[in-house]
Amino acid sequence: MLVIRGERERPEMIREEVAEVLKRILGVEEIPFNVPPQRKMGDLSSAICLSLAKERKRPPMEIAGEAVEQLKANLPPHIQEVTLTPPGYINFKVNWSRLTRELISEILEQGESAGKSFSGGNEKVFIEHTSVNPNKAMHIGHLRNSVLGDTIARVFRWLGYPTEVCNYIDDTGVQVVDVVTALLYLNPPLFEEGTSDFKSVWQKIPEDHPIDYFCWDLYARFQNEVEKDPSLREKREEILHRIEGGNHPVSDFAKELATRIVQSHLETVARLSVFYDLLNWESDIIRQGFWETTFELLKEKGGLRFETEGPNEGCWVVPFGGIAETSNGVRSLDKILVRSNGSITYTAKDIAYQLWKFGILEKDFLYRTWGKQDHGEVLWTTSMEGKEGHQISRRFGKADRVINVIDVRQTYPQQVVSECLRQMGFEKEAERSIHLAYEVVNLSPQAARILGAEETDEKRSVAMSGRSGTGVKAKDFIEMVKKKVVEKADHPLEQSVANALTSAAIRYYLLKFTLESQIVFDFDEALKTTGDTGVYLEYAHARASSILRKAEERKIDFQWGKGVVPVQLTDTERDLVGAISEFASVVMKTAENLRVSRLTEYAFDLATAFTNFYEHPDPGSKVQTPFIHLRDESLRTFRLSLVRAFQIVMGNTLRLLGMPALEKI
RNA sequence: GCGCCUGUAGCUCAGAUGGAUAGAGCUACGGACUUCUAAUCCGUGGGUCGGGGGUUCGAAUCCCUCCAGGCGCGCCA
């Protein structure tokens, strides 16, 4: 759990006010709170006296009774009534009128920065997400990663933390090697040794076929071919060395290929408003000698061992405790960083990279700009042709906290990385190396069948696999959702609106699940546009905007003043105020525990509260008068101001979720 | 074998720190639009919170155990 410093927000504030008084009265350290099951009981409740009964050897009703008496004599500022219900609950009624006056004033005054805190100080947060192998198209599982990381980054930025987002490009890994090998040697015209002219190879990619899609199929095909053709395996080995070594036409070709595919990945996620500050290339980590420095550091600080015997003979390993029996027989648990042939493992590179993120490593990348992104910010990239860190306008790395967004299957290697940091003596950095682990996206049996997967079990979900080419490609999915959104609309949509709804629907779908919940992707489920969806959120915001627009068109003057707040709010007014008041503390909690689903849940609650208020501002009454038609000027002003306050907070919530806040649909 | 995660309504999922009658959405059925935007709202139906023990005044939540599913434990990345 991260510790987030921040100002106390409304619900927290009220709770703390109450807790303060109660702690004094009862002489306890902590006061637990909960919400009563029925509204008439109150808005806030505590069962503290029930747990106190035993140790104090007194009936809970008696303890609570005395506490209530004292509370009545000394009411916390935002509480208007305290009651007692058996078997010993203390219930509090909030002074909604007062809370509403303060809350709306504050929001209208602060506008779009309402609820924003500037508590982050100088603590820099470094977030790595996406990091898709640049050898094929992205699929929906990758999107979950991107959208999670992007949302977390938005939350930290909002809270005032200097935040840096990077996308790691593994351009020297076997996946890229496979596709390069396939391009060069699978189909004629074959690559001729000694030449640096790759024109004919590039021409294999049809012009009307996106490169990432082409490589998706090619990569899957290559997996089959390489199985039965030993000469391809040899070629692959050769190409691996050339790419790792650099300084060879094939290496340049691989880089070019990866660059083009990265570009298509960036275009894909940009459709969901996902952007980065920096692209970090693995080839640059290798070429800048990050590992050599790390190797020395590891040997110097300890935590690394050269094996002279046993199964890992000839390797440099990090000891992780003995031998274990696994399903594949008896294995050493120690993590190999340098193989007996001298080459280094992925985890070794990861350790070096993690050290760089914290600014521990003396080495640095060279940097240049990649280009401007759709949101107007420049994207940087590491590059051997770039400038040194001190020569550019930005400073990358040197973070105080590092969040790596990687799926749950990589928990073990991530632990190895932070454990290595610990063993090297970087205790604080190990503590602040956070693996944001989330479960994968699988395909429902139906979805798998639609995609043409063979042998689907009707009960079991199917893992997506780049190797076999089964998966829902991100761009396909985006297009499908867009098509559905346009179809479902009762009027023609502007392109920008259709795109915004599409993005909101997809982001919401991928964010609403808890981190440990596997998403079993099903087309019907994922293409929903009613109920608990991103579309619902957009409608609530657009509806509020329309009301305000209409009020303006009719020249309705609604000048906010605290005097317009009714003494007694209706149920739906009160629920909406309650939802609005929770905004800031929800954002804070999201940053603390990195559980973004809490934010989507809140967004839905907030939108629901508004929609209910809009449909039934006077729940008891048979007639519901549109706000702009209200005769009672004071009430009209109040309700329109509440709409405005909602619109501001909903807009902020949407932006935190990376969704455009539509004024009109 | 060891470790981690999951199991809640027909389906998809929420349910910090243990609290009062376990909630949404979808689906089904029945209602509400000469509109401040109905991708909405209202109503009805729907549950042995995987099973069994335990701790507690109180357990979906904590502990033990069993069952079912997923993942991890590579000189892969």
Q: Does pLDDT of A6 surpass 70?
A: no
- Which residue in the block uniquely carries the two structure tokens 């867009």? A482
**pLDDT level of residue A247 (50, 70, 90 thresholds):** confident
The dihedral region occupied by A45, where left means phi > 0, alpha psi between -120 and 50, and beta the remainder, is beta
Q: In Å, what is the separation between the CA of A72 and the C1' of B62?
A: 35
- DSSP H helical segments within A311-363, as ranges? 346-357
Residues A125 and A146: their CA atoms lie apart, in Å, by 17
The predicted structure's pLDDT at residue A151: 98
Name residues whose C-beta falls within 8 Å of residue A379's C-beta, 6 or more positions apart in sequence.
A266, A275, A276, A277, A278, A279, A369, A370, A371, A372, A373
**pLDDT level of residue A452 (50, 70, 90 thresholds):** confident
Residues A563 and A559: their CA atoms lie apart, in Å, by 11
Q: In Å, what is the separation between the CA of A61 and the C1' of B50?
A: 38
Q: In Å, what is the separation between the CA of A481 and the C1' of B39?
A: 13
Q: Does pLDDT of A451 surpass 70?
A: yes
Measured CA distances, A159 to A297, A461, A589, A656, A659 (Å): 35, 38, 11, 11, 18
- Percent of chain A surpassing pLDDT 70: 96
The predicted structure's pLDDT at residue A576: 95
Residues A344 and A332: their CA atoms lie apart, in Å, by 18
The predicted structure's pLDDT at residue A120: 64
Count of CB atoms within 10 A of residue A662's CB? 19
Domains of chain A in start order, with CATH, are 10-94 (3.30.1360.70), 448-472 (no CATH), 474-665 (1.10.730.10)
At residue A55, φ and ψ (nearest 5 deg) are -65, -25
> What mean pLDDT comes out for the span A147-164?
95
Paired with A484 in beta bridges are none
Q: In Å, what is the separation between the CA of A332 and the C1' of B2?
A: 13
pLDDT tens digits for A91-125?
999 999 999 999 999 999 888 887 776 666 789 99
Count of CB atoms within 10 A of residue A305's CB? 15
Name residues whose C-beta falls within 8 Å of residue A125's C-beta, 6 or more positions apart in sequence.
A156, A161, A162, A163, A164, A399, A400, A401, A402, A403
Q: Does pLDDT of A135 surpass 90?
A: yes
**pLDDT level of residue A8 (50, 70, 90 thresholds):** very low
DSSP for A495-529, please give it.
HHHHHHHHHHHHHHHHHSS-TTSPEEE-HHHHT--
Residues A46 and A36: their CA atoms lie apart, in Å, by 9
Residues A126 and A605: their CA atoms lie apart, in Å, by 30
Nucleotide nearest to A348 (CA to C1'): B77
Look at residues A150, A264, A164 and name the one whose alpha carbon lies nearest to residue A507. Answer: A150
Residues A93 and A68: their CA atoms lie apart, in Å, by 13
The predicted structure's pLDDT at residue A7: 47
**pLDDT level of residue A73 (50, 70, 90 thresholds):** confident
Q: Which of A48-57, A266-275, A533-542 has the lowest mean pLDDT?
A: A48-57
Report residue A399 as tokens. Answer: 């973070």
Residue type, A381: T
Q: Does pLDDT of A176 surpass 90?
A: yes
The predicted structure's pLDDT at residue A1: 42
Chain B positions under 7 Å from a protein CB? Answer: 1-2, 4-6, 12-21, 23-27, 35-42, 56-58, 69-77
Which of helix, strand or coil describes residue A407?
strand
Maximum C-alpha span of chain A: 92
The dihedral region occupied by A480, where left means phi > 0, alpha psi between -120 and 50, and beta the remainder, is alpha
E strand or H helix at A264, and its extent? helix A249-270
Q: In Å, what is the separation between the CA of A531 and the C1' of B45?
A: 19
Residues A235 and A343: their CA atoms lie apart, in Å, by 19
Report residue A140 as tokens. Answer: 């929906």
Name residues whose C-beta falls within 8 Å of residue A136's C-beta, 6 or more positions apart in sequence.
A175, A179, A212, A215, A216, A219, A261, A466
Q: In Å, what is the separation between the CA of A36 and the C1' of B27?
A: 31
Q: Can you tell me which residue has its alpha carbon closest to the C1' of nucleotide B70?
A: A518
Q: Does pLDDT of A622 surpass 70?
A: yes
The crossing angle, in degrees rounded to 10, of helices A346-357 and A411-423 is: 60
Q: Does pLDDT of A173 surpass 80?
A: yes
Nucleotide nearest to A665 (CA to C1'): B37
Burial grade of A221 (CB within 10 A; 0-12, 13-18, 19 or more): middle
E strand or H helix at A476, and its extent? helix A474-488
Residues A11 and A583: their CA atoms lie apart, in Å, by 9
Residues A305 and A166: their CA atoms lie apart, in Å, by 32
Residues A63 and A67: their CA atoms lie apart, in Å, by 6
A312 neighbors A336 (Cβ within 8 angstroms) = yes
E strand or H helix at A366, and its extent? strand A366-372
The predicted structure's pLDDT at residue A118: 64
Paired with A139 in beta bridges are A473
Nucleotide nearest to A542 (CA to C1'): B37
**pLDDT level of residue A265 (50, 70, 90 thresholds):** very high
A234 neighbors A283 (Cβ within 8 angstroms) = no
Q: Does pLDDT of A24 surpass 50?
A: yes
> What mean pLDDT comes out for the span A491-498?
93
The predicted structure's pLDDT at residue A10: 58
- DSSP H helical segments within A512-656, as ranges? 523-526, 534-553, 571-581, 583-593, 597-615, 633-656
The predicted structure's pLDDT at residue A640: 95
> What mean pLDDT comes out for the span A184-195?
79
**pLDDT level of residue A456 (50, 70, 90 thresholds):** low
The predicted structure's pLDDT at residue A439: 96
The predicted structure's pLDDT at residue A116: 78
Q: Does pLDDT of A9 surpass 60?
A: no
> What mean pLDDT comes out for the span A13-31?
84
Nucleotide nearest to A457 (CA to C1'): B69
Q: Does pLDDT of A321 surpass 80?
A: no
